[in-house]
Amino acid sequence: MRRTLLIAAREHKGYSQADMAKALKTALRTYVRWEHGEVTPQPHHRAALRDQIGVDDAELTRILAHIEDEEGLVDRRELLGAGFRIGVGAAMFATAPRRVGRSEIARVTDTAALITRWSREYGGGGMPPEIMDAHVRWAAGLLHTSVPTPLRGPLFSAVGYLCAFAGFSRFDAYDHRQARQLFAIAQQCAEEVGDWSLRARAHGMAARQAIWIGDPDTGLTHVELGLVRSDRITPTEVAALHTLRARALARLRRVEDAREATGAADTAFARRSPGDASPMAYYDEAQHRGDTGHALADLSRIGAPTDAAERLAYSVRHHPAGTERARVMSQVELADLRLSTGEPEAAVEAIEIALPGAAELRSARTRDLLQRVQRRAIAAPDGRAVTALRERLAAHFEAAA
């Protein structure tokens, strides 16, 4: 059972379940039970919920009374349409076919792969947002058309992955609100058809965003939601989530917990198999070492001994073609780590390698990492290497202006 109108109202706000629970000052588990129709909010919670979603008492009563059987017919226009806030209206679904077949699902899957490829190679700003949005609108329109029962699961999964990848691209371009909305839709698609891998991936992306913008607690919540049924996802997916857990814990300065999470990530990654492939094929040894290196670098900067530098260096050397953003971000992280641990000469060497690739990227996250190195260089004691680093970064930002 599901309160689909409550879900749609939450998504209309651009909130995840964790966001809404936090705004209502209630436990995440309690809020999830409301959406599942298991319990009804108490009066004091109803008032807060009414204010959050912007309705009156009568409308809230209607929303809470609307409970649908998951096995029955779901009004997908209510379920997803209200939450998809990039201008989707009925007219925009005009080009959607009357009935969905395998060719339409393949088109959605191919589009998701294209967006991901562009984002990894050129950054989240590499593809014009209006083009990306048009593809997502078309795919979302398919959820409102007739689909044969055997294709329902593949369709929702394909649209969910497209929204997740588009959301990550928007996150990398610092369109955080739209990224959150797209992640929420991806999570809902996963819930709708029981796609545990998509669910883990969407929560992992939302966790990465939350950690990046300085909210590691919300990041941890998304990680835990992604790991709820770790027996139903692959070792690679488990490793990626534990790595994000390590990053959140490192941001919270929980040194031993972060080390433990890194160890859990390494253990899970060691259990991977060739069958772990798509859509986690990108998470290879280089990606794993780079992601864990980013987490451990935060510990190194507060004086805890780690092998962050070795992991980041391995990542830089072994990232394959087509993953320029990840390679550059690991290289810049390595430069920042070297500078923060009193190795300015090594920092200069690392930044010199990173800048040519960074100049070709349209990635707000990469720009932020470079600006962090620049701030650290400005604050560092004067010296030949530090001066060279300041000048090199100043020239880079001047050229990019």
CATH assignment of the domain containing 218:
1.25.40
Dig out the tokens for 351 from the structure: 């930044």
Specify the pLDDT at position 275: 67
Contacts 24+ apart (CB under 8 A), 383-387: 383/344, 385/344, 385/345, 385/347, 385/348, 386/344
- How far, in Å, are 21, 88, 219, 252 from residue 147 at the CA level? 34, 20, 35, 46
183 contact partners, CB below 8 Å, separation of at least 6: 16, 163, 164, 167, 202, 203, 205, 206, 209
Helix (H) or strand (E) holding 266: helix 255-270
CA 125/CA 128 separation, integer angstroms = 7
The pLDDT of residue 76: 42
Of 204, 227, 207, 223, give the one whose Cα is nearest residue 215. Answer: 207
Is the torsion defined by CA of 362, 364, 368, 371 positive or negative? Answer: positive
pLDDT band at 70 (very low <50, low <70, confident <90, very high): very low
Handedness of CA 336, 314, 166, 133 (dihedral sign): positive
Q: What are phi and psi of 389, to 5 degrees?
A: -65, -45
Which residues, including other chains, have CB under 8 Å from residue 162's CB and lie 6 or more apart?
A: 108, 109, 111, 112, 115, 135, 136, 139
- Residue the block writes with tokens 């280089």: 286
Q: What is the rounded average pLDDT for all residues in the chain? A: 88
Return the higher-pLDDT residue of 224 and 81.
224
Structure confidence at residue 159 as a pLDDT band (50, 70, 90): very high
On the question of pLDDT at 126 being above 60, the answer is yes
Considering 274, 307, 340, which residue would you say is the last residue of a domain? Answer: 307
Of 307, 322, 338, which residue constitutes the final position of a domain? 307
Please check whether residue 128 lies inside any domain of the structure.
no
Domain of residue 289, residue span: 196-307
Q: CA neighbours within 13 Å on the CB side: how many for 164?
A: 27
How large is the average pLDDT for residues 384-389? 94
Nearest to 160 by CA among 196, 134, 208: 196
**Does 220 reside within a domain?**
yes
Q: How confident is the model at residue 74 (pLDDT cuts 50, 70, 90)?
A: very low
Q: Is residue 394 part of a domain?
A: no
Burial of 353 (0-12, 13-18, 19+ CB in 10 A): middle
Whether 257 is in a domain gets the answer yes
Q: Is residue 214 part of a domain?
A: yes
Query: Does residue 133 fall inside a structural domain?
Result: no
CATH number at residue 55: 1.10.260.40
**Domain end point (choices 50, 74, 98):** 74
321-335 confidence digits (pLDDT tens): 999 999 999 999 999
Q: Is residue 129 situated within a structural domain? A: no
- At residue 9, does pLDDT exceed 80? no
pLDDT digits (tens, 9 = 90+) for 246-298: 999 999 999 999 999 999 999 999 999 876 666 778 899 999 999 999 999 99
229, part of any domain: yes
pLDDT at 87: 38
- Which are the contacts of 114, defined by CB distance < 8 A and separation ≥ 6? none
**CA atoms lying within 13 Å on the CB side of residue 221:** 18
Mean pLDDT of 83-91: 38
Helices (H), 54-148: 57-65, 76, 102-122, 129-142
pLDDT of 71 > 70? The answer is: no
Residue 165, pLDDT above cutoff 60: yes
Number of domains forming the structure of the chain: 2
Phi/psi for 195 (5° steps) reads -90, 95
Q: For 89-99, what is the mean pLDDT?
A: 53
Number of H helices, E strands in the chain: 20, 0
